[in-house]
Amino acid sequence: MTTAIAINHVSMEYKTPKATTHVLENVSYEVQDGHFVSIVGPSGVGKTTLIRLLTGLAKPTAGEILIRGKRIEDAPEGLAVVLQDYTRSLMPWLTVEKNIALPLRNQPLNKAERKQRITESLVEVGLEGSESKYPWQLSGGMQQRVSIARALAVRPNLLVMDEPFASVDAQTRFDLEDLVLKVRDDFGITTLMVTHDIDEAVYLSDEIVVLYGKPAAVRDIVKIDIPFPRSQMTTRNDHRFADLRTHVYGMVRGLE
């Protein structure tokens, strides 16, 4: 299987005139093409810092990150991002259609092709017919679906998500979890997600990377040996799900 992302001995520190804060220390991991990988760890451990490095918003103090063999120097091609706060990532004065069209402005598409991308993306997330609505006319879950549709419109081969379902209720969270698994299967997208929700990580992932310590290092890489497709009822009642959740939770809490 092809390596989509190679994180090689990455360290990160922030310097101020008074102090140096070491956030990440010698982090290494490879994400295989088409896999869904979750990054978990205690609050403040450096998960979002790693996301910033992956998206080219920051550069590591040491080490390197390669996407399909190319070192990240700025925003990588073929990468899309879904953030936690959909109220800030969507423009409230733009319709759903125009919000999704934003990242397409720099792509070599004519008007008809752009329209087709928008329509196909909305169909994928179950929001066909919502083109003329504004974000404030939609529920929180529907707004996050628009964010996912916008990410899909650019036809990414890598999707990075930072706590994407933290701002929605439990039932909507389950629906969105199933949606991103559908998107992964339909588009063959390699997905990397930061989450505080251990159950969510186990349900969605092929592997879970556990960060721990100050500075943070990879404490373990947990293979999720539960077959796909998964369902909220069957998978969460599987004894393996409970065992994996307990194991990952213990490492995040420093109990193992």
Give the DSSP letter of residue 93.
T
Clarify whether residues 4 and 66 are in a common domain. Answer: yes
Ordered alpha helix ranges (H), the chain: 47-54, 86-89, 96-101, 111-124, 140-153, 170-187, 198-204, 239-252
Type of residue numbered 38: S
Coil, strand, or helix at residue 198? Answer: helix
Q: Which of 98, 131, 155 finishes a domain?
A: 155
Owning domain of residue 104: 79-155
Q: Is residue 174 part of a domain?
A: no
Q: Which of 155, 176, 203 finishes a domain?
A: 155
Clarify whether residues 147 and 237 are in a common domain. Answer: no
Q: Cis omega (within 30 of 0) on the bond before 229? A: yes
Q: Is residue 241 part of a domain?
A: yes
Could you read off the pLDDT tens digit of each residue along the chain, which spans 256 residues? Answer: 799 999 999 999 998 888 899 999 999 999 999 999 999 999 889 998 998 999 888 999 999 999 999 999 887 888 898 887 777 789 999 999 999 999 998 888 899 999 999 999 999 999 999 999 999 999 988 998 999 999 999 999 999 999 888 878 888 889 999 999 999 999 899 999 999 999 999 999 999 999 999 999 999 999 999 999 999 999 999 999 999 999 999 999 987 7
Clarify whether residues 161 and 236 are in a common domain. Answer: yes
pLDDT at 106: 81
Q: Is residue 53 part of a domain?
A: yes
Which residues fall within 8 angstroms of residue 151, CB to CB, at 6 or more apart?
80, 81, 82, 159
Report the predicted TM-score, pTM, of the whole model to 2 decimal places: 0.91
Ordered alpha helix ranges (H), 194-236: 198-204
Q: Is residue 180 part of a domain?
A: no
Clarify whether residues 63 and 86 are in a common domain. Answer: no
Q: Is residue 4 part of a domain?
A: yes
Q: Please give the tally of structural domains in the chain.
A: 2
Q: What are phi and psi of 14, to 5 degrees?
A: -115, 130
Q: Is residue 139 part of a domain?
A: yes
CATH number of 194's domain: 3.40.50.300
Q: Is residue 49 part of a domain?
A: yes
Clarify whether residues 110 and 126 are in a common domain. Answer: yes
Q: Is residue 104 part of a domain?
A: yes
Clarify whether residues 106 and 134 are in a common domain. Answer: yes
Clarify whether residues 161 and 238 are in a common domain. Answer: yes
